[in-house]
Structure 1
């Protein structure tokens, strides 16, 4: 079972995607179960309710699914929490040593976008970068958990994410702050769908990215420095995670920051994919010009 949100931005409807006995996938309208895929849905055993309705055959087919825009599979989360440099090879290409404790930063929740939405390059951006990442969707409130087992139970499921980053704003540029480099409009595409945690082995997922069809990243979550339960346990000691929040687990090597590839340019196409979680595709355009700051 895959869970998606289809429709115009701000008017998406919840959809279940499931295969029949022949392997053919069908889309089902889930509005009889929930108005949206959000924290309230997850906190109230929404995934179980969808599975029951699917098994009972009570969800109507969504005949025009192929004509609808694919939105983020999770409605705007309260928090987007990110882990930096969580692959040793990426830390190395960034000029840093592998961290001994998780590096944590936040992205504004209004950066979340659909997986195929046109992607704006900021007017002054010179070093806009791609980052394929495994996204964790939180299903229950998390605070001061006592064990990795308890932390793992808080995960509702997983999504593909692209943590788009303006390196000149983030690192040693004039701005030089991670928040500025990670907060740009539509810089967190999620989806195309959300897969429940019990259907995914988060410790062994292949991650890949391409720019204009050319391979860039190719790694596996087996190479994560801090795995999913460790991340959730660690975060819970410093903040409350709520149902519907999304945690991005870090990107592997192969980004433009490495110096091996050019940064994203106007007209480029970036694709990111995680096995079992689908593939995104963003076409980039230069956003409206602005006066350059002195």
Structure 2
């Protein structure tokens, strides 16, 4: 099952994606909330709803024609991992960390597929990061085991952890450089876990800047797997439906290149993960 979030007549709605066509789930069942997070919190049986939608006599909308909204509107938590690929840690001059480098993003930093990533007025060191994102489907009990962790995952999507590098390096905790407005792109679709390998392993992940491949790796290269990451987080906090975990980026980021490559107005950045989707965002300069 693939889901997306889109805007129709000024209203946010959830769509079931089938062969580049979208079925409006609110047109199938008017009681369904217009937020994936709200649907997961309510415990709605999305598999049953999807089956009903496929047989419903409702209009199919071309995905390419829709204005997409942020895939997970206002997630309760957006937990990100740094240095979670061996090659990326190495290109940054670091060995494998003993524990994941966790940081948080705020909801105001998040944006949709197709929306512009904004180069801030205060910096020109605007970088890209291709990442796998995990969406939690059910409340995760504290101290969950790795063996049980994946049963709480609803699905996976693409994430671009666009980073303002000079601000990121102003503090040992990367948060400020990771939370500029319109820098965290998510989507365009959420793929349910049952359609992918366990833990979303063995999937090719790429970033392309203006058509040039910048990062090209495999999710099997992650230091901490999805299951291990959820288990570690559950030692500290309660993960809830609609929470997002961004699993870190492989080597090839702009700051590690000689000379560095920074995104600028007029660029187009693409993040593609095998069997999940293609996330595309133009880059614009801050105006206000």
| TM over 0.5, shorter chain | yes
Instruction: Name which of 94, 100, 103 aligns with 1:102.
Output: 100
Deviation for aligned residue 1:50: 2.3
Superposed, 1:11-30 pairs within 5 Å as 11-19=11-19, 25-30=20-25
Tell whether 2:229 aligns with 1:234: no
Q: State the match for 1:5 in structure 2.
A: 5
Q: Distance in 1 between matches of 2:64 and 2:261?
A: 34
CA distance in 2, matches of 1:65, 1:263: 30
Q: Matched residues in 1 for 2:154 and 2:237: separation?
A: 18
Q: Provide the secondary structure at the position in 2 that maps to 1:145.
A: coil
Q: Does 1:209 align with 2:207?
A: yes
Change (3 A) 1:232 1:177: closer
Aligned-residue offset at 1:141 = 1.1
Counterparts in 2 of 1:88 and 1:36: CA distance versus 1, 3 Å: same
Q: More strand by proportion, 1 or 2?
A: 2
Calculate the TM-score normalised by the size of structure 1.
Answer: 0.89
Residue 281 (structure 1) shift:
1.6
1:241-280 to structure 2, matched below 5 A, reads: 241-260=239-258, 261-280=260-279
Q: What is the 5 A alignment of 1:150-189?
A: 150-171=148-169, 173=170, 177-189=173-185
* 1:151-193 deviation digits (Å, cap 9, x = unpaired): 111100001000011110011x4x6641110001111111110
CA RMSD, aligned part only? 1.9
> 2:65 maps to which residue?
67
| Count of aligned positions | 281
- Is this contact kept in 2: 1:71–1:191, CA < 8 A? no
Question: How far does residue 67 in structure 1 lie from its aligned partner after superposition?
Answer: 2.7
Name 1:22's counterpart in structure 2.
none
| Distance in 1 of aligned mates of 2:76 and 2:9 | 18
Q: How does 1:47-86 map to 2 (within 5 A)?
A: 47-55=46-54, 57-58=55-56, 60-63=58-61, 65-86=63-84
Moved more, 74-83 or 8-17: 8-17
Kindly tell me: are residues 60 and 145 of structure 1, through their superposed partners in 2, closer, same or farther at Cα, counting changes over 3 Å? farther
Distance 1:99 1:177, change over 3 A: closer
**Counterpart pick for 2:190 among 191, 194, 202:** 194
Instruction: Write the distance in 1 (CA, Å) between the matches of 2:21 and 2:80.
Output: 33
Name stretches of at least 5 consecutive residues in structure 2 with no aligned partner.
none
> Alpha-carbon deviations, 1:243-285, whole Å to 9, x = none?
0011000000000121334111222211111111111221111
Describe the SS at the equivalent of 1:101.
Answer: coil
Where does structure 1 differ by over 6 angstroms across 4 or more consecutive aligned residues?
none
Distance 2:65 2:105 in 1: 31
TM-score w.r.t. structure 2 length? 0.91
1:147 equivalent in structure 2:
145
Quick check: 1:286 aligned with 2:282? no
Report the alpha carbon displacement of residue 95 of structure 1 after superposing the two structures with TM: 1.6
Q: Rate the CA distance shift 1:283–1:89 in 2: closer, same or farther, 3 A.
A: same
